[in-house]
Amino acid sequence: MMSIPKESESIINLLVEEEKIKLKDFLKEKVEISSRLFKKLIKQNNIYINDSLLGDIYYVTSGDVVTIVLEDEKAVYEPQKMDLDVIYEDLDILVINKKPRILVHPTKNHPNNTLTNGIQYYFQSKSINKKVRLVNRLDRDTSGILVVAKNSYGHQQMAKQFTEGIEKKYIAVVKGILRKDHGIIDLPIGKEKDGVKNIVIDTGKESITEYKVIEKLKNSTIVELKIITGRTHQIRVHLSHINHPIIGDILYGGDSELIDRQALHSYYLKFKTPRKHEEIKLVAELPKDMKELINNLK
- H-only helix segments in the chain: 23-31, 35-43, 115-125, 152-164, 234-241, 288-297
* Residues pairing with 227 in the sheet: 209
- Give the DSSP per-residue string, 36-91: HHHHHHHHTT-EEETTEE--TT-EEETT-EEEEE------SS--------EEEE-S
| Alpha-carbon distances, residue 64 vs 16, 20, 21, 57 (angstroms) | 5, 10, 11, 16
CB-based contact 176:247 (threshold 8 Å): no
- Among candidate residues 64, 92, 139, 289, the one labeled active-site is 139
Active site residue 139: yes
Please give the positions annotated as active site.
Answer: 139
